Amino acid sequence: MEIIDGKALSEKIKDDIKLEVDTLRDDYKQVPHLAAVLVGDNPASKAYVRNKVRSCEKVGFESTLIQKDSTITEEELLDIVRDLNENDDVDGFIVQLPLPKHIDEHKITLAIDPEKDVDGFHPVNFGKMTQGLDSFLPATPLGILKMLESYKIETEGKNCVVVGRSNIVGTPMSILLSRKAYPGNATVTITHSRTRDLRAILKTADIVIAAIGIPNFISGDMLKEGCVVIDVGINRVDDETRLKGYRLVGDVEFDSAKEVASYITPVPGGVGPMTVTALLLNTLKSTKKKLNLTE
């Protein structure tokens, strides 16, 4: 069994990004600029955004954090999005989800200029992805593709079971793994809360992508010998022995799954850091596109 070290891989990719940023600064007097909009004080969202801003600094990007109280109106937030769309200094931006209930997330996503939508959530980017056209891929699935690629994990003809059908992870992941490319060409089954006999379906899986949001939901006895396990879940569980009073666990029970799997991602240190790095890759791509430097 090999652990897929998302933390180490993301550091390596960030080193490569930094080199490209140095070249852009030297040759074009420009560095990528990512802006993040954070609404309210959800602790997980705050931690994610902090992480994204810190990663920008690490690779030499410019970053802007726009923080707003949860009382902000939908129209005020739309104004911020429009300003960012029009700001030529900003190459890409994200509006951290979830948003307060009185704000329509779809409306906000639709208002983002697809050319700056580095989260890859806008239907224009989603549609392009579905048709195999060049686009910003959603950050978490892009990070997972990079992991599969880097560990040279064969996907062609493999049975892949994606658990969870969210727009940001499960659904795009299932599309990307079934496309005619590497990583891809897999036979994909997408499962969800209404799936019957998930256990039997999982037993057929050469590759499992778990994006459910239920701690330790999938245990080793549900998996096929030698399968590849990609655990997207980030769940807080109470832990009195930790200073913070909690620890993070995935959707897969790591200790039992690692006895069965050929490759497995840990939580933390697996998909999480790769998601942030994928966001940086998309922002770099946006800057290069602006400078007509895309391959």
Interacting residues toward ligand NAD by CB under 6 A: 140, 163-166, 168-170, 191-193, 195, 198, 211-213, 232-235, 271-272, 275
How many whole angstroms separate alpha carbon 295 and alpha carbon 281?
14
**Nearest distance from residue 251's CB to ligand NAD, in Å?**
6
Q: Which residues pair with 162 in a beta bridge?
A: 190, 209
Q: Which is nearer to ligand NAD, 219 or 235 (CB)?
A: 235
How many whole angstroms separate alpha carbon 287 and alpha carbon 283?
6
Q: Which is nearer to ligand NAD, 150 or 195 (CB)?
A: 195
The beta strand positions in 107-179, using DSSP E, are 159-163
Q: Which is nearer to ligand NAD, 135 or 140 (CB)?
A: 140
Q: Which is nearer to ligand NAD, 24 or 175 (CB)?
A: 175
**Nearest distance from residue 198's CB to ligand NAD, in Å?**
5
**Nearest distance from residue 101's CB to ligand NAD, in Å?**
15
Could you say which of 52, 158, 285, 288 is catalytic?
52
How many whole angstroms separate alpha carbon 80 and alpha carbon 287?
21
Q: Which is nearer to ligand NAD, 58 or 290 (CB)?
A: 58
Contact, 39 vs 100, CB < 8 A?
Answer: yes
Instruction: State phi, psi for 155 to the nearest 5 degrees.
Output: -120, -20
**Nearest distance from residue 23's CB to ligand NAD, in Å?**
28
**Nearest distance from residue 152's CB to ligand NAD, in Å?**
22
Q: Is 83 a catalytic residue?
A: no
Q: Is 52 a catalytic residue?
A: yes
Could you say which of 5, 14, 91, 96 is catalytic?
96
Instruction: State phi, psi for 159 to the nearest 5 degrees.
Output: -85, 120
How many whole angstroms separate alpha carbon 161 and alpha carbon 231?
12
**How many other CB atoms are there within 10 angstroms of residue 151's CB atom?**
14
Contact, 156 vs 206, CB < 8 A?
Answer: no
Q: Is 15 a catalytic residue?
A: no
Residues 6+ apart with CB under 8 A from 232: 140, 144, 164, 169, 209, 210, 211, 250, 251, 271
Instruction: State phi, psi for 161 to the nearest 5 degrees.
Output: -110, 120
Q: Which residues pair with 114 in a beta bridge?
A: none
- Exposure class string for 163-190: b at 16+ Cβ within 10 A, else e: bbbbebbbbbbbbbbbbeeebbbbebbb
Q: Which is nearer to ligand NAD, 155 or 171 (CB)?
A: 171
Kindly list the catalytic residues.
52, 96, 119
